Structure 1
Amino acid sequence: MATTPRDRARAQTMNDIVRIGRDHLATHGAAALSLRAVARDLGVVSSAVYRYVSSRDELLTLLVVDGYTALGDAVDEALRAAEAADDDPIAQIRALAHAFRRWALAEPARFGLLYGTPVPGYAAPAERTGGPGTRVIGTLLTLFARGEQAGKLAAPRRARALSATLAADIARIREESGAEASDRVLVGAMTFLVSMIGAVSADVFDMYGVDTFTDRGELFEHLLDDMLETVGAEPR
């Protein structure tokens, strides 16, 4: 269906609101976001903004979806390049992790909104943020499934048994993601995910201290090696 000039004008205004919201997020932080301030930079009276965005929480939701979408796009772009160079799923998991870190370092405020301290009084609506928010996770689970199918993930010497509750959760994740992998590999994928987020957060939020590591990129490579070996990948 063809869009009307009014539809295009509304879409452009929404884009401008999100763009200004991103700028304010970077400058003032999520807790200080204000629709009045956005309206001022947009060049309209504050009441006009409420025709597009109903509240500060609605603006935060738009920024969360925008952030997850941008992160997913960055990961997908990196994986397309990685797949062209190497079909090895473990190499592609590495590419995903590096793309995740690059985006986070380039967009610390947006990364903080997605993975940092929760904004007081705000709860992201799962029906709107769940899909974009699980996009990278779904890609990671698929790569781990491919790694298992290719024989790239060795079984641990001692496998811990899953409780019925955790096994049911893993079965649901398998069904929702479509990642046909064993319980141990999906648990390993979750181990890798939270380790990756923790390693990147330590870098983005300067948990190491200013003068601790000269080359944090090299440190991340070592952490990545250890994370992959933990889930059964062969050492490089």
Structure 2
Amino acid sequence: MAEAQQGPRARYREQTRAEIKDAALRQLADGGAGALALTRIAKDMGLSGPALYRYFASRDDLLNALIRDAYDDAATAMGAVAARPEAASDGPRERLHALATAYRNWAVAEPHRYLLIQGSPVPGYVAPADTRDSARAVLGPFLPVFAGGTPGAGVAPVVAQMAAWLGSDPGVGDWVAAYAADAAGDPESSARALAGAVLVWAQLHGSVGLEVAGQFTGMGHDGGTLLTAQTGMLADAFALE
């Protein structure tokens, strides 16, 4: 409906921007973020350099768009798993494994995009501040999984630090409320939710990041098997059923 309301010039601009992003993604897949070159994209598309800069003001502007798109797609993949009809009857342990698997599946299918959103993709690049909310959208479905857990002694210090974070940053409470409504307003449940989400993020990034970067090649194990084992240990740490 919105597209139908756009004029021909606006539709052409959006189409061209999409084609530029597709060309950039092909470069990323071939050589990583360091290979991204606007002049080469312009040449491949039959555009002049100045013409391309009418759509993206700089390399960093293009990177910003690619990073936002990657986060949005990853969040959509995670949200789809959380919204499955059967998820309502799954226990928190099952939901945790399903979400972790979805995260890995997206990363393995989109390795160049996964690596793009982990850290600074090229020297000197600083991601825009709004990507923080995009990253939280990816992790959001994990929050309700841990909200009702019973943290053991090993993770209790993390829970305590998350409680302090809640007290110092109102935006964190808003994040919890957006994904774990039952925990909203309950500092203990919110702290558990945050601790679990932060810990699972660290585990996912460690295991999946190594796999996507090819570090497991020749080691005799499957990345999915390793992630399942790690996720199971985290579920045990929170006594998830």
TM tier relative to shorter chain: 0.7 to 0.9
1:168 aligns with 2:164: yes
Q: 1:116 to 1:203 in 2, by over 3 A?
A: farther
- The residue type equivalent to 2:175 in the other structure is E
Percent identity reads 35
Q: 1:183 to 1:75 in 2, by over 3 A?
A: closer
1:6 aligns with 2:9: yes
Q: 1:216 to 1:117 in 2, by over 3 A?
A: same
Gap regions ≥5 residues in structure 2: 184-188
1:91 aligns with 2:91: no
Counterparts of residues 17-166 of structure 1 (less than 5 Å): 17-81=20-84, 83=86, 86-115=89-118, 118-127=121-130, 129-145=131-147, 148=148, 153-157=149-153, 159-160=156-157
Return the offset for 1:21. 1.0
2:176 alignment counterpart: 177
| Secondary structure, counterpart of 2:84 in structure 1 | helix
Structure-2-length-normalised TM-score: 0.83
Distance in 2 separating the partners of 1:85 and 1:161: 28
Matched positions, count: 225
Distance in 1 separating the partners of 2:85 and 2:205: 21
Q: 1:200 to 1:13 in 2, by over 3 A?
A: same
Distance in 1 separating the partners of 2:151 and 2:163: 17
Which of 193, 197, 207 aligns to 1:199? It is 207
1:233 alignment counterpart: 240
| Secondary structure, counterpart of 1:226 in structure 2 | helix
Gap regions ≥5 residues in structure 1: none
TM-align CA RMSD: 2.4
Cα-to-partner distance string for 1:172-195 (whole Å, 9 max, x where unaligned): 322333142242442233112211
- The residue type equivalent to 2:144 in the other structure is T
Q: 1:41 to 1:82 in 2, by over 3 A?
A: farther
- The residue type equivalent to 2:135 in the other structure is G
Distance in 1 separating the partners of 2:78 and 2:193: 21
1:215 alignment counterpart: 222
Larger RCO: 1 or 2 (CA < 8 Å, sep 6+): 2
Moved runs in structure 1, 4+ residues, more than 4 A? Answer: none
Structure-1-length-normalised TM-score: 0.84
